Amino acid sequence: MERMSTLDAGFYFVEHKNVPMHLGSLVVFEGPAPAYQDLVDLYAAKLPLVPRYRQVVRTVPLQVFRPAWADDEHFEIGYHVRHAAVPKPGGARQLRHLAGQIFAQRLDRDRPLWEAWFLEGIEDDRWAIISKVHHCMVDGIGGTDLMTEVFDHGPDAARLAPVSWDPESAPSAVRLVAGGISDTVTWPLRLLREIPGFVLQRLQSRADLAGFTRGLTGSARRLAVPSASSLNGPIGPHRQWIWTTARVSRVKQIRATLGGTVNDVLLAAITRGFRDLLTERGELTDGVVVRSLVPISVRSAGERGVLTNRVSAVLANLPVAEPDPLRRLEMLREQMDDLKRTHQAVGAELLTEMLGFAAPTLLALGSRAAFQIPQPLVQTVTTNVPGPQFPLFILGRRMVAAYPYVPIGDNVRISIAIYSYLDRFSFGITADYSAAPDLHVLTKGIRRGLAELLAEGTAAPAAGTPSPRP
């Protein structure tokens, strides 16, 4: 039995009927489609690589202790690996609609928190898998590691035989409480012992500390800038989910000629998308921004593949009111440089660790309140997850595309995830079904944003631009 981390518990507690908190993906393969039972057998054989996939969440009444993971004595692989057909003619429109319905459904909390949907009937003799994994199990980077474990790295990979598994007995209520008491005593002591080293490791000089302090002031100033209103508001239980793509090579070409990082370029394209969306809605006014929560992985090299959340976040103002694409890119580059220079992600990570002092009951109430209280501080979430740059396979079939899904939260009606696979960036955009009927304007704007930056980069002499950063 293993206790959830503070951040994992926060993701678990914040979920409610209108806010399912799972991450997901749609991955498309070349045909022909395999037999459903072959896919079930494959997942069963791979489960020893991901033990968490056979564990359930155990809680204590009144949530006085952090939830724990325990083996599911009644685990049934056929419940988790499901089978569906895309409505005819099996094009992108039908696939997106079906995926939106599947992503909108909450995972069953009485079972291991994941599902894999085998979809047949896609045009051009293709098929797909939709994966759903609760956010309390894994962050985006961890999910990428999981994909590389479950999928094969070549078309002729040897088939693994399913291995028998004997689950541990379910923990008794007494054991859950006793473990919780021990955890409550040792957790704060460990934090007190580790936090000084944590701070010193990340803020290694007085200059770092001074920069961190200045960064807090800068964050306060960013929060004071007026933001777009229609992106915030109540959400319902239904979702729409669409995607668009861009070539990695073209994004890198923009970075090489105009400067900044790949992430800066992607944020600039998203900024153009929101600019077009607000223009369409008649909300684009001077000085307005779209404030985005930008998750940042804080995984160390030794933590890759570990199923837990190792993520922090910063707030970035997307300068949608700026008409000049080069100036938008420059503003984003300066802002992201400042956030990194002033260690703002460190502050968020430290705050998360400090929350370990709080009783889980307070953590649960605080997590829900933070998501449910109407507030204009954040209008969207934009996260960029690097995927494998080598082809993946299942049962000898090559994966040809991968599209990411991230949830939306209470009062935040649109979120964007970016995933790279081979030479493609895929933008997966999630929205409340009723609040964003014009979501196609955002995707078209993202494509326009990249096209105009590519044109500017082609016209501009590389020698006269800032040096790109790795």
Return the exposure string of 291-311: e unless at least 16 CB atoms fall within 10 Å of the residue's CB, then b.
bbbbbbbbbeeeeeeebbbbb
DSSP tally for the chain: helices H, then strands E: 13, 17
Tokens describing residue 397? 């079939």
Q: Shortest CA distance to 27 belongs to which of 452, 434, 401?
A: 401
Query: Which H or E run contains 252?
Result: helix 248-258
Give the rounded distance of the alpha carbon of 442 from its chain centre.
19
Round to whole Å and give the CA distance between 352 and 430.
Answer: 26
Round to whole Å and give the CA distance between 259 and 262.
Answer: 9
Q: State which amino acid sits at residue 40.
A: V
Please say if 16 is a catalytic residue.
no
Round to whole Å and give the CA distance between 258 and 158.
Answer: 46
Query: In 151-172, which residue ranges form alpha helices assigned H by DSSP?
Result: none
Query: In 288-403, which residue ranges form alpha helices assigned H by DSSP?
Result: 325-341, 344-354, 360-372
Q: State which amino acid sits at residue 451.
A: A
Round to whole Å and give the CA distance between 113 and 75.
Answer: 11
Question: 135, 238, 343, 440: which is the annotated catalytic residue?
Answer: 135
Return the exposure string of 121-135: e unless at least 16 CB atoms fall within 10 Å of the residue's CB, then b.
bbeeebbbbbbbbbb
Q: Is the preceding peptide bond at 51 cis, omega within 30 degrees of 0?
A: no
Rounded to the nearest 10°, the torsion over CA 90, 82, 22, 430 is 10
Round to whole Å and give the CA distance between 441 and 462.
Answer: 32
**Phi, psi (rounded to 5 degrees) for 64:** -80, -15
Q: Shortest CA distance to 152 belongs to which of 305, 295, 46?
A: 46
Tokens describing residue 22? 């799972």
- Give strand pairing partners of 419: 385, 426
The tokens 């494959």 sit on which residue? 42
400 SS3 class: strand
Round to whole Å and give the CA distance between 256 and 466.
Answer: 9
Asked if 468 and 337 count as a contact pair (C-beta separation under 8 A), the reply is no
Residues with a catalytic annotation lie at 135
